[in-house]
Chains A and B, each alone.
Chain A
Amino acid sequence: MSHETPIAPEPTPRTETPAARPSPVIAISGLSKRYDSGFSALKQIDLEIQRGEIFALLGPNGAGKTTLISIICGLVNATGGSVTVDGHDSVTDYRAARAKIGLVPQELTSDAFETVWNTVRFSRGLFGKAPNDTHIERVLKALSLWDKRKNKLITLSGGMKRRVLIAKALAHEPEILFLDEPTAGVDVELRRDMWEVVRELRNSGVTIILTTHYIEEAEEMADRIGVINGGEIVLVREKATLMRQLGSKQLTLHLQTPLASVPPALAHYPLTLAENGNVLVYTYDASEAGDSDHVSISALINEIEAAGIRFKDLHTKQSSLEDIFVNLVRERQ
């Protein structure tokens, strides 16, 4: 995959007043959706997406991720509330709002008998942009689709079709890109390539909102994380803050000789024994990470040695976003 050519629009100059916080590129307020069946997919969602960030929306199946994206993009009518896209209301000023957005849907849909080139070109025209074959060529090359441009979509593999959907979404040089489960069913290599493209887009100023099942992706890619469950936003936080606040760390010591119980001298540490006394586990908050943390760990190790406990190996483990997420959703249920 080549990355020397930019596939995103020139970043728009930011008109920030020094004192004010930059205005959000998407502002959602009081958004709700009740389907005709009576199912409430979204309940009073308030959310702001900042310009230029990668925002990951996490949630279990049926949490409302796709409904939320669909309303912002104009595929589903909201029951209540409002969405503004770069200051344009998504209903009353839909032309201006939608022109800024590119959407990569979850479902692999394609005009089976069209060629890659025609379908991507069509997308650009649909969004009201004058033909620009140079741009389309850049997009296709960046997504390694250039060689396939004359192929009919029906002849492409699932991963290639996914790339075509991304190319279609980028054809009109959107400022905001929605990726709804973009890497579902995509092999590891292609997934890595896609994230490379996403990073490149972000670097050129495009705001990216993604939903994903692969939490490690959100962990690796996102600037901020929103968790949605049962149609409600459970939390929105900087990824780093989230990991620090809700993550925990574990220090595991493999002992030379098994212990029957934690010695009383070490009782003031939250220590537990595992594997028939062969392993000593110390769990602590990741928020304690930093200088004070080092002190406490080295102090702990000194005390363990002083207590005459010998260990042959040690390692530490930090809880992943996935652990945090699972705990959060479980707590709410």
Chain B
Amino acid sequence: MNLQAVRSIYFFEMARAGRTLLQSLISPVISTSLYFVVFGAAIGSRIQEVEGVSYGAFIVPGLIMLMLLTQSVSNASFGIFFPKFTGTIYEVLSAPISYFEIVLGYVGAAASKSAILGLVILGTANFFVDLHIQHPFMMLLFLLLTAITFSLLGFIIGIWADSFEKLQLVPLLIITPLTFLGGSFYAIDMLPPFWQAVTLANPVVYLVSGFRWSFYGISDVSVVASLVMIGVFLAVSLAVISWIFRTGYRLRP
């Protein structure tokens, strides 16, 4: 195991976030605050409690998930796309490191960044609403697993994308709609029965539901189903990445 190399990639990537602190940290915090102002205070005050939780508090886990998913994907996809785009990827490919170590460095950094961001947003939310976390350990587990899984997905997108347009395409066309329709802002039983059934096909529902359960003990689907869903996501992402490296797809012609 070339730990030195993993460490180098990891800290190189983390340093990049440090340089772009404004866009990495402050802008998601600002946009989350805006969500709280609009949905939590302005609209939320007119919405009754959802399953015994005030609407403002109800949307906290969903908002964190929303940021976690989008930031994990964009961090990780950009992290690997940029060296591919500039050509500096040659160095990583010619170094004495394994595929696993490359992924560990890049995805580890991306996941760390979005997990930190998730916690920062949690802290921000604390200013707006009263927060109770019933299952803090499970909350952290969901947070970390989601950050890792979606960073892996971002890594795949970053390798697949051969233009900046494609890099934006998947987050814009798939991740954002799935997250918005994944119960971030509502409980599923607020939907008509037909749409409740359709919604269950959206994997993000399981993530949001499990995460919300760790806060308030309420969930749309069972916690086990949520954990299984993350596990499936993780397994599929890992399988795709191992295929990428086995075949050299877009990396080693």
Contact = CB atoms under 8 A, between A and B. Distances in A.
A122 B16 CA distance: 13
A128 B15 contact: no
28 contacts: A36-B253, A75-B94, A75-B252, A76-B252, A77-B248, A77-B253, A95-B2, A95-B96, A95-B97, A96-B96, A97-B96, A98-B96, A101-B94, A103-B91, A105-B87, A109-B88, A110-B86, A111-B86, A112-B86, A113-B19, A118-B15, A124-B8, A125-B4, A126-B92, A127-B95, A127-B96, A128-B2, A128-B96
Question: Chain B: interface secondary structure?
Answer: helix
A239 interface: no
A130 B94 CA distance: 18
A110 B35 CA distance: 39
Interface bracket on A: 20 to 34
Contacts of B87: 105, 107, 109
Interface string A75-113: 111000000000000000011111101010101011111
Most B CB contacts (10 A, CB to CB) among A96, A123, A124, A128 go to A128
A130 B4 CA distance: 7
Contacts of A123: 91
Contacts of A125: 4-5, 7-8
Most B CB contacts (10 A, CB to CB) among A73, A99, A126, A130 go to A126
Contacts of B16: 113
Interface string B1-40: 0101101110010011001000000000000000000000
Interface string A135-167: 000000000000000000000000000000000
A45 to B, nearest CB: 17
Most A CB contacts (10 A, CB to CB) among B7, B87, B91, B248 go to B91
B175 to A, nearest CB: 26
Contacts of B97: 95, 126, 128
A175 to B, nearest CB: 13
Contacts of B94: 73-75, 98, 101, 103
Interface in B196-253: 248, 252-253
A99 B90 contact: no
Nearest to A93: B96
Interface residues of B, number: 26
Contact of A75 (B83, B90, B98): B90
Contacts of A111: 83, 86, 88
A286 B160 CA distance: 56
Contact of A109 (B4, B90, B252): B90
B93 A75 contact: yes
Contact of B9 (A118, A126, A129): A126
A35 interface: yes
B221 to A, nearest CB: 43
Interface of B: 2, 4-5, 7-9, 12, 15-16, 19, 83, 86-88, 90-98, 248, 252-253
A151 to B, nearest CB: 15
A77 B245 CA distance: 11
A202 interface: no
Nearest to A103: B94
B93 A128 contact: no
A73 B7 CA distance: 22
- What 7 A-B pairs are tightest by C-beta distance, nearest first? A125-B8, A109-B87, A95-B96, A98-B96, A99-B96, A128-B2, A73-B94
Contact of A122 (B2, B8, B252): B8
Given A77-B252, A123-B91, A126-B97, 18 more contacts: A74-B252, A75-B93, A95-B2, A95-B97, A95-B98, A105-B87, A105-B90, A107-B87, A109-B90, A112-B86, A113-B16, A125-B5, A125-B8, A127-B95, A128-B2, A128-B4, A129-B4, A130-B4
Contacts of A65: none
A51 interface: no
Contacts of A96: 96
Contacts of B92: 126
A224 interface: no
Nearest to B19: A113
A185 to B, nearest CB: 15
Nearest to A37: B253
A127 B90 contact: no
Contacts of B5: 125-128
B90 A122 contact: no
Interface in A260-289: none
Interface in A165-179: 168
Given A109-B87, A111-B86, A122-B8, A74 B93 contact: yes
B90 to A, nearest CB: 5
Contact of B95 (A113, A126, A130): A126
A87 B8 CA distance: 28
B148 to A, nearest CB: 22
A123 B95 CA distance: 9
Nearest to B2: A128
A168 B253 contact: no
Nearest to B252: A77
Most A CB contacts (10 A, CB to CB) among B7, B92, B97 go to B97
B140 to A, nearest CB: 30
Contacts of B93: 74-75
Nearest to A121: B8
